[in-house]
A and B are shown apart, each in its own frame.
Chain A
Amino acid sequence: MQPRQRRSLEFVLDNLVWFMLLAVLAIFSATIPNYFQPGIFANIIEQSSVLGVMSIGLALVIIAGHMDLSVESVAALSAMATGILFASSGIGMGITFTPGWLVVPASLLAGMAVGAVIGALNGYLVIKVKMNAFIVTLSSFIWVRGLVVAISGGRSAQNLADEVRFLAIQRFLGIPLTAYIAILCFVGFSFMMAKTRFGRHLLMIGGNEAAAFRAGIKVDKVLMIAFILSGTIAALAGWLLAIRTSGATANLGTGMLFNAFAAVVIGGVSLKGGVGALPGVYAGVLLLSSINTAINLMGLPAHYTQVIHGLLVLAAVLLDTLKQTIRKRLA
């Protein structure tokens, strides 16, 4: 094979999910009436923001060869903390600041601190106590959600201050500011993974933890940071969710974990660890949103969404296997 042909084939393989996204958008635009319009695309990007941010944290931990099932519950707890502290009705305490905009950093910090603590606890149990990450984070998934229900008493907090709501309402080029926060996160963390020592170490630990340890990489420290990051990023997703819904309910975000998983896998991250990049994950999230939007527009019952997501994950894993085979032939 010619080197140029080979390079272009590798490029297609590396960015397959983006091509899939383009293909899906093209097909939907051609076949579904009213799909092809800026408002729809803006809506897809808007819908992707919370799920997208959550998927970043999950992807980081999976790339490092571990697992974090707690992201959904952590997001819910962060949202509930924001709601209880800063919403003015329901169970909200309605804390206010002068000047009023201080509520933005205050609520963000409160939410992310909650996420960082749970991430650190997960990390401690996995790395120091050497428990299985799947079990540890499954347990967090359950008890953190339980905590959300317990502290809220099953009720909800509504009406966040306008200064925070501003982020969800104010649009730039038809897209709300919250979506830009998500995009900024993807750009920042993609840069971290591709260009910094920390990202490189995370990738290598996912590939061969023993080799990384022998090479003098402080594996425990890097993994601990990954778990804390995952929790903190999930909390950021929860904060965005609270802003979008202007408060929090006890069952906020239920089911997002599996969508995040689907996005990560579709985006080309291997559950074995060591494989995958964040831009692909964003494409995976956009792909899921595009399909959701299509289902809505076609007026199909929402129940089909789940069936399609499930099949999509299967297809993604199949595709991953196929890619591996092609790559082996290339080498």
Chain B
Amino acid sequence: MSEPLLVLDNITKNYGAVEALRGVSFSIAKGEVIALLGDNGAGKSTLVKIISGGLEASSGKMSFEGRDFRPKSPSEAKAAGIETVYQDLSLCTNVDVVANFFMGRELTKKVMGINVLDEKRMEEQVAKAMATAGTRIPSLRAKVEHLSGGQRQAIELNRFVHWGGKLVLLDEPFAALGVEQTKRGLQMIRQVAAQGIGVVIITHIMQQAFQVADRMVVIRQGVVAGDVPTKQTNADAVIGMITGETLTGAGPVAGVGDSDPA
């Protein structure tokens, strides 16, 4: 967990006169899980969109794997190895599970010189990925509009686990999941991180953040209000940073830390 994967340096984003981000800096290492916390409107989703290529920063620098990084579109970010799971689901409900799984990366085979979708191979891979993750969906050929909210979110989570890449951004990924599925989702995140993939997870649920993250980064009013290892802080301190009771740049909490039995 030493080599920085993604470094953000003083990222800002203006919408006209409104400053959504006022200079955000932090970094994430390979295999590290960061919980990005903050109140509604703090700028978390804006930040995720800037990293994933959905928005361009107004100023500031990003480097990914040591190289300058400024994605102009999601396809560029994807090509660099950044996968994103958005809070409003990014599925096309009018097509089946397999088509969604391979959205934008369909496998093809040559038939008489024409690239034709290789449905069989795609279905096999999806079935395998779903089985590995323990997700059960009655038919992979069912249109997603006929599936439940939990099943849909499971598809998205399995999709990012399958494609992996180098960095995964998760924007409120468990909003529609039940208790058991959430637990499995958190396990998935640890598995992904164990493969050396960096993970940024946005969540409102403090318990989830403490369960899964190595480090907490708190955004408040468009700046980083706190950046601390999970083991050196506690829920009260983090809530203090989110609401602004603690001063900007709050560090480790005294008394919590190395002696923590966890």
Contacts and interface: CB of A to CB of B under 8 A. Distances in A.
User: Are A and B associated in one complex?
Assistant: yes
B93 A214 contact: no
Contact of A212 (B84, B89, B92, B108): B92
Nearest to A3: B139
A327 B147 CA distance: 12
Given A196-B116, A200-B99, A211-B103, A218 B146 contact: no
Contacts of A218: 73, 75
Interface in A197-221: 197, 200-201, 203-204, 206-208, 210-218
A274 B96 CA distance: 12
Contacts of A203: 92, 94-95
A85 interface: no
Interface residues of B, number: 30
A328 interface: yes
A212 B108 CA distance: 18
Contact of A208 (B84, B90, B116, B147): B90
A91 B145 CA distance: 55
Interface string A104-140: 0000000000000000000000000000000000000
B252 interface: no
Contacts of A208: 90-94
B54 interface: yes
A203 B106 CA distance: 13
Contact count band on A = 20 to 34
A327 B146 contact: yes
B104 interface: yes
A28 B115 CA distance: 43
A211 B93 CA distance: 10
B146 A211 contact: no
B184 to A, nearest CB: 23
A201 B99 CA distance: 10
Given A204-B103, A216-B75, A216-B78, A211 B116 contact: no
A217 B115 CA distance: 17
Contacts, number: 81
Contact of B104 (A195, A206, A212): A212
B197 to A, nearest CB: 18
A212 B104 CA distance: 7
B105 A204 contact: no
A204 B108 CA distance: 17
A327 B74 CA distance: 34
Contacts of B95: 200, 203-204, 207, 274
A197 B54 contact: no
A322 interface: no
A216 B94 contact: no
Contacts of A214: 52, 54, 74, 84, 86, 90
B115 A196 contact: yes
B103 A217 contact: yes
Contacts of A213: 54, 73-74
A317 interface: no
Give the most central of A197, A203, A215: most B CB within 10 Å: A215
Nearest to A205: B92
A197 B109 CA distance: 11
Nearest to B119: A195
A331 interface: yes
A195 B75 contact: no
Contacts of B147: 331
Contacts of A330: 146
A195 B146 CA distance: 23
B114 interface: yes
B253 interface: no
Contacts of A217: 75, 103-104
Contacts of A149: none
A275 interface: yes
B112 to A, nearest CB: 11
B59 to A, nearest CB: 24
User: Which of B54, B86, B103 has the most CB atoms of chain A within a 10 A radius of its CB?
Assistant: B103
B215 to A, nearest CB: 26
B103 A207 contact: no
List of 8 A-B pairs having minimum Cβ-Cβ separation, nearest first: A331-B146, A207-B94, A216-B75, A207-B92, A274-B94, A215-B104, A215-B103, A211-B90
16 contacts: A195-B116, A196-B108, A196-B114, A197-B115, A201-B104, A204-B94, A204-B95, A204-B99, A214-B74, A215-B104, A216-B73, A216-B79, A217-B104, A218-B75, A274-B94, A331-B142
Interface of B: 52, 54, 73-75, 78-79, 84, 86, 89-95, 99, 103-106, 108, 114-117, 142, 145-147
